[in-house]
């Protein structure tokens, strides 16, 4: 396991702060290598995109 660089840590903290400010519940999870980090980032991107699509679908539906 390698130590994260200051740049990597700053980016992680910025993302955590953005999720917190948006009111999105998240789990802080350690990673052991770059491949694992990449896979988890892609999974997070997929989940955020799915959430955005669900919100857009709710906004399009007419009110009864």
Looking up tokens 């669900």 gives 54
Phi, psi of 31, rounded to the nearest 5 degrees: -120, 155
The Cα–Cα gap between 5 and 63 comes to 49
**Per-domain residue ranges of the chain:** 6-60
Taking alpha carbons only, the member of 19, 43, 17 closest to residue 31 is 43
The Cα–Cα gap between 44 and 51 comes to 11
What's the pTM? 0.76
Average pLDDT, the chain: 92
Between 51 and 60, where is the model more confident? Answer: 51
């Amino acid at each position: 396991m390698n130590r994260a660089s200051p740049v990597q840590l700053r980016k992680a903290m910025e993302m955590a702060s953005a999720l917190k400010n948006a009111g999105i519940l998240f789990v802080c999870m350690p990673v052991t290598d770059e491949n694992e980090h990449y896979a988890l980032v892609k999974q997070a991107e997929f989940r955020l995109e799915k959430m955005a699509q669900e919100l857009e679908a709710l906004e399009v539906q007419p009110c009864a």
